[in-house]
Amino acid sequence: MGKRRPTTPSPPDLPETLHGAVADAELDLHGMNVQQALRRVENLLETWARRQPGAVLRVVTGKGTRSADGPVLLGAVGDFLREETGGRVAEMIRAAGGGGWMVRVGRTGGRSGPRA
């Protein structure tokens, strides 16, 4: 029998990925128009950037499969999160299933305002 090696914890300074992360909060945007949705996302980011930088948020847009004109919110919210210039989005990925986004909140920065 060989000796068991003790497990070494990963260094605390290595960032966790968003894949498989548990969300600290969720925002469901179903039924909203683009302007309403972006305003809600802006408010969510602003609140969590002050409250808990590094928090993981799930933003549910839906896939848009039942929308008459196809998916609208998924792309608009994704564009907004990518263009977020206030530093409130540290990283983002598509949520499992493809109907939204997982976002790691950065620190509070300047207000950028939603674009519709």
Q: How far apart are CA 30 and CA 50, in angstroms?
A: 26
Query: Got the DSSP string for 77-88?
Result: HHHHHHH--SS-
CB within 8 Å of 96: residues ≥ 6 apart? none
Residue 65: the pLDDT is: 81
User: Structural domains in the chain?
Assistant: 25-62+72-105 (3.30.1370.110)
Those residues of the chain that have pLDDT short of 50 are: 8-15, 111-116
- This prediction has a pTM of 0.76
How big is the chain, counted in residues? 116
Residue 115: the pLDDT is: 40
At 39, phi and psi to the nearest 5? -65, -45
